[in-house]
Amino acid sequence: AHDENMTFDEMVAQIGKPLAETLRKKSLELYEAGRAWADGRGIIVADTKFEFGVVGGQPILIDEALTPDSSRFWDKATYEPGKPQDSFDKQVIRDFLEKELKWNKKPPVPSLPAWIVEKAQQRYQQVFDRLTLMRMSDGKRL
């Protein structure tokens, strides 16, 4: 299933106000830390998602955070407000499936040509290199 946005009030209705407020606070703290880190490397965190669970009454982060699969990253140097942005994420695959293949989002997922997989891989490598200051290909510091 695809992730769906929910309002704060919808979250309160599902899990109660105290936990919802804690999750909002933690989400904003995580986002701000990631945003500041990325900003220092010329990357904009356009949006992201965090998934939480509760163990022993305490909220825990239960999935990846601030990766190209859970976030949209844009290059600060080429950012133009109000225009479509070139992303360092899986959007290139989504666009190909929707625009080129006209996929209806129902199984089975169509096979992807090697060139589109390579294009997505290059974008993931680029954002990894910039965010970590290391080359994914050989682990050397940049």
In a domain, 140, yes or no: no
- Report whether 31 contacts 23 (CB < 8 A): no
In a domain, 57, yes or no: yes
In a domain, 27, yes or no: yes
In a domain, 83, yes or no: yes
The C-alpha atoms of residue 128 and residue 122 are separated, in whole angstroms, by 10
Number of folded domains that form the chain? 1
pLDDT 10s per residue in the chain (142 long)? 567 889 999 999 999 999 999 999 999 999 999 999 999 999 999 999 999 999 998 999 999 999 999 999 999 999 999 999 989 988 899 999 999 999 999 999 999 999 999 999 999 999 999 999 999 889 899 8
Closest C-alpha among 41, 92, 47, 90 to residue 69: 90
What predicted TM-score, i.e. pTM, was given to this entire model?
0.86
DSSP for 75-102 reads EGGG--TTS---BSSTHHHHHIIIIIS-
Structural domain for 95, as ranges? 8-132
The C-alpha atoms of residue 27 and residue 128 are separated, in whole angstroms, by 22
In a domain, 109, yes or no: yes
Q: What is the distance in angstroms between the CA of the first residue and the CA of the last residue of the chain?
A: 38
In a domain, 94, yes or no: yes
Q: Say which CATH number the domain at 65 has.
A: 3.30.470.20
The 10s digit of each residue's pLDDT in 103-142 is: 999 999 999 999 999 999 999 999 999 999 999 889 899 8
Residue where the block lists tokens 């990894």:
128
